[in-house]
Amino acid sequence: MEVSRIRALRGPNFWTRLTALEAVVTCTECEADLDQLPNFLIHLRALFSDVKPLRPFGHKDPITLAHALEAVSLGLQAAAGCPVAFGQTMSTPERGVYQVVFQYTEEPVGRLALELAEALCLAALNAGSFDTTRALARLRELDEDVRLGPSTGSIVHAATARGIPYRRLTEGSLVQFGWGSKQLRIQAAETGNTSAIAEAIAQDKDLTKMLLEAAGVPVPRGFIADTDTQGWEIANKIGLPVVVKPRDGNQGKGVAVNIETREQLSAAFKIASEISRDVIVEQYIPGHDFRMLVIGNQLVAAARRDPPAVIGDGKHTVAQLVDEVNTDPLRGDGHATALTKIRFDEIALATLTMQGFTAHSVPEKGKRVLLRNNANLSTGGSATDVTDEVHPELAARMVTAAQMVGLDIAGVDLVAETILKPMEAQRAGIVEINAAPGLRMHLSPSFGKPRPVGEAIIASMFAQGDNARIPVIAVAGTNGKTTTVRLTAHLLSVSGKRVGMTNSDGVYIEQRCIDTGDCSGPRSARNVLLHPDVDAAVFETARGGILREGLAFDRCDVAIVTNIGIGDHLGMNFINTVETLALVKRVIVQNVAPHGTAVLNAADPQVSKMAQVCPGSVTFFALERQHPVLNTHRAQGKRVVFCDDAHIVCSEAGQEQRLALTSIPLTRNGTISFQIENAMAAIAAAWALGLEWSTIRAGLTSFVNDAQTAPGRFNVFDYRGATVIADYGHNPDAIQALVQAIESMPATKRTVVISGAGDRRDEDISRQTEILGEIFDHAILYQDQCQRGREDGEVLALLQRGLKNVSRTKEISEIRGEFLAIDTALATLKPGELCLILIDQVQEALDHIAQRIAEA
Contacts 24+ apart (CB under 8 A), 28-36: 28/1, 28/96, 29/96, 31/1, 31/64, 31/65, 31/66, 31/96, 31/125, 32/62, 32/64, 32/65, 32/96, 33/62, 33/63, 33/64, 34/62, 34/63, 34/64, 34/65, 34/67, 34/68, 35/62, 35/63
Name the stretches of the chain with pLDDT < 70: 56-59, 249-252, 334-336, 566-572, 785-788
Contact 247, 204 (CB under 8 A): yes
Helix (H, G, I), strand (E, B) or coil at 746: coil
HSE-up (13 A, CA, CB side) for residue 824: 19
Q: Is the peptide bond before 241 cis (omega within 30 degrees of 0)?
A: yes
Query: Which among 732, 745, 728, 744 is positioned nearest to 773, based on CA atoms?
Result: 732
CA distance 707 to 705: 7
CA distance 196 to 186: 13
Query: Which among 749, 754, 705, 755 is positioned nearest to 723, based on CA atoms?
Result: 749
CA distance 504 to 61: 41
* pLDDT tens by residue, 576-624: 889 999 999 999 999 999 999 999 999 999 999 999 999 999 999 999 9
Cα separation values, 425 from 72, 377, 428, Å: 63, 28, 9
Strand order in the sheet with 834-838: 715-719, 722-727, 834-838, 750-754, 778-783, 811-816
CA distance 268 to 243: 9
CA distance 405 to 179: 30
Contact 9, 20 (CB under 8 A): yes
State the CB neighbour count (10 A cutoff) for residue 226: 11
CA distance 619 to 225: 74
Contact 552, 575 (CB under 8 A): no
Q: Where do the H-state alpha helices sit in 557-614? A: 578-585, 587-590, 605-608
Cα separation values, 110 from 27, 44, 76, 105, 546, Å: 21, 20, 9, 7, 20
State the CB neighbour count (10 A cutoff) for residue 447: 12
CA distance 242 to 325: 29
Torsion 525-531-534-535 (CA) sign: positive
Query: Which among 95, 20, 87 is positioned nearest to 62, based on CA atoms?
Result: 95
Query: Which among 286, 551, 569, 530 is positioned nearest to 416, based on CA atoms?
Result: 286
Residues paired with 815 in a beta bridge: 782
Query: Which among 449, 303, 443 is positioned nearest to 383, based on CA atoms?
Result: 303
- Residue 374's pLDDT is what? 75
- Residue 70's pLDDT is what? 97
Residue 458: Cβ-neighbour burial (10 angstroms; 0-12, 13-18, 19+): buried
Helix (H, G, I), strand (E, B) or coil at 809: coil
Helix (H) or strand (E) holding 87, with range, is strand 87-91
CA distance 446 to 440: 10
Tell me the whole-structure pTM to 2 decimals: 0.88
CA distance 305 to 382: 6
Torsion 733-738-743-747 (CA) sign: negative
DSSP at 728: -
End-to-end, the C-alpha distance of the chain in Å comes to 63
- Residue 60's pLDDT is what? 74
* pLDDT tens by residue, 71-96: 999 999 999 999 999 999 999 999 99
CA distance 413 to 417: 13
DSSP at 814: E
**Type of residue at 348:** A
- What size, in residues, is the chain? 856
Helix (H) or strand (E) holding 674, with range, is helix 673-688
Q: Which positions ≥6 away from 64 have C-beta within 8 Å?
A: 27, 31, 32, 33, 34, 89, 98
* pLDDT tens by residue, 611-669: 999 999 999 999 999 999 999 999 999 999 999 999 999 999 999 999 999 999 999 99
- Residue 841's pLDDT is what? 87
To the nearest 10°, report the CA torsion of 808, 811, 814, 820: -100
Contact 123, 130 (CB under 8 A): yes
Q: Which positions ≥6 away from 320 have C-beta within 8 Å?
A: none
For 393-406, give the secondary structure using H, E and C. HHHHHHHHHHHHHC
HSE-up (13 A, CA, CB side) for residue 760: 19
**Type of residue at 638:** K
Residues paired with 265 in a beta bridge: none
Q: Which positions ≥6 away from 852 have C-beta within 8 Å?
A: 719, 822, 823, 826
Q: Which residues of 538-551 are buried (b: 16+ CB within 10 A; e: fewer)?
A: bbbbbbebbbbbbb
Q: Which positions ≥6 away from 297 have C-beta within 8 Å?
A: 399, 403
Helix (H) or strand (E) holding 304, with range, is strand 298-306
